[in-house]
Chain A
């Protein structure tokens, strides 16, 4: 992992897709090992900001650096390898089993396949290891998404509404997992409609309105 204490730095970041401004001047700085919660109404730009940080959208104007990669002149593919993305829809090939999805991710990133079983243990999905992903419940898919990230060990975790579909036990488990991830030095940015309720996590709330971070 790199030594730069600042993982995300955006200056007047603007993202325009097909003429529509998704982000309209975002200034942001995030330090290593910190948790940031993006809040805001639907369409405020939370997912767009996550996608920019993940190298899934390009910068239209402004400047920025994420995980050591310049958003203007840097290699977005390199940036993508340094971040982990968990969308609210799921993240996998539906016809592959839980194990096959994770083995695919591990091999793609040249990580040892032996890390798959511990990751599934950690998220409580070991009993579903040979189940096809399409047969998992929404909450189990979310846990699989977390296992996918555990196998990947990204330095920046980007989680789009990760609490959706989780019951109370799932939320508590998720908070514990985030605490471990943060303690290991990773940076986490997640989107949510409301500020984080957990008292176990120290989060910096960023409220978004109209494609800007306003507080």
Chain B
């Protein structure tokens, strides 16, 4: 399982490095969305700072949905699906590999968007840095959940456009917990209880993915 996970993650990251979809399409979109959010709030610096965690995770949601679709589309090019299926890869390894690659891609996006938050939304640098661990864990959890739901909506007759609708109930608690945690890091407050929600969700999605990804692939 681990061998397959590394193989799939390396393959996905190599494809991303070649195609540069994250660099030239997703990240510019995310930065522009963050910038427009800041403009929509007006010139009051204090207002920007208090709204920053929510705006950060709103933009992160858009970026995540784009990256999930991209990650799954790699496997669904005409002919690729059948050929790769006949490699008989361990589905648990495929799930972990795709989750790992997506996590790393979201981490890159997260770092860029956090920098954007400091520059555009005027979040305090120290608070933003202290929010970094919770942001990274939340993004990893979004990647695990997204990989699972992405497989559900790709291939066959499952239109990828269903992804936002299907993931909303799964993502909402994660986004709320992430936002609360980010706010606590910026303005003070309970930090760890929000972490617990995200970490438990990460373990749960990883377990479900390892067990069920093969069923989703076959269906």
Contact = CB atoms under 8 A, between A and B. Distances in A.
Do A and B form a real pair? yes
Contacts, number: 76
Interface residues of B, number: 22
Contacts of B78: 87, 89-90
Interface string A127-171: 000001000000000000100100010100000000000000000
Contacts of B204: none
A109 B87 contact: yes
A83 B15 CA distance: 26
Interface residues of A, number: 35
B11 A85 contact: no
A105 to B, nearest CB: 6
A193 interface: no
Nearest to B15: A95
B82 A51 contact: yes
B86 A81 contact: yes
Contacts of A108: 4, 7, 87, 89
A86 interface: yes
A152 to B, nearest CB: 8
Interface string B81-111: 0110111110000000000000000000000
A87 B4 contact: no
A86 to B, nearest CB: 7
8 contacts: A56-B82, A78-B88, A81-B88, A87-B83, A92-B79, A93-B15, A96-B18, A154-B86
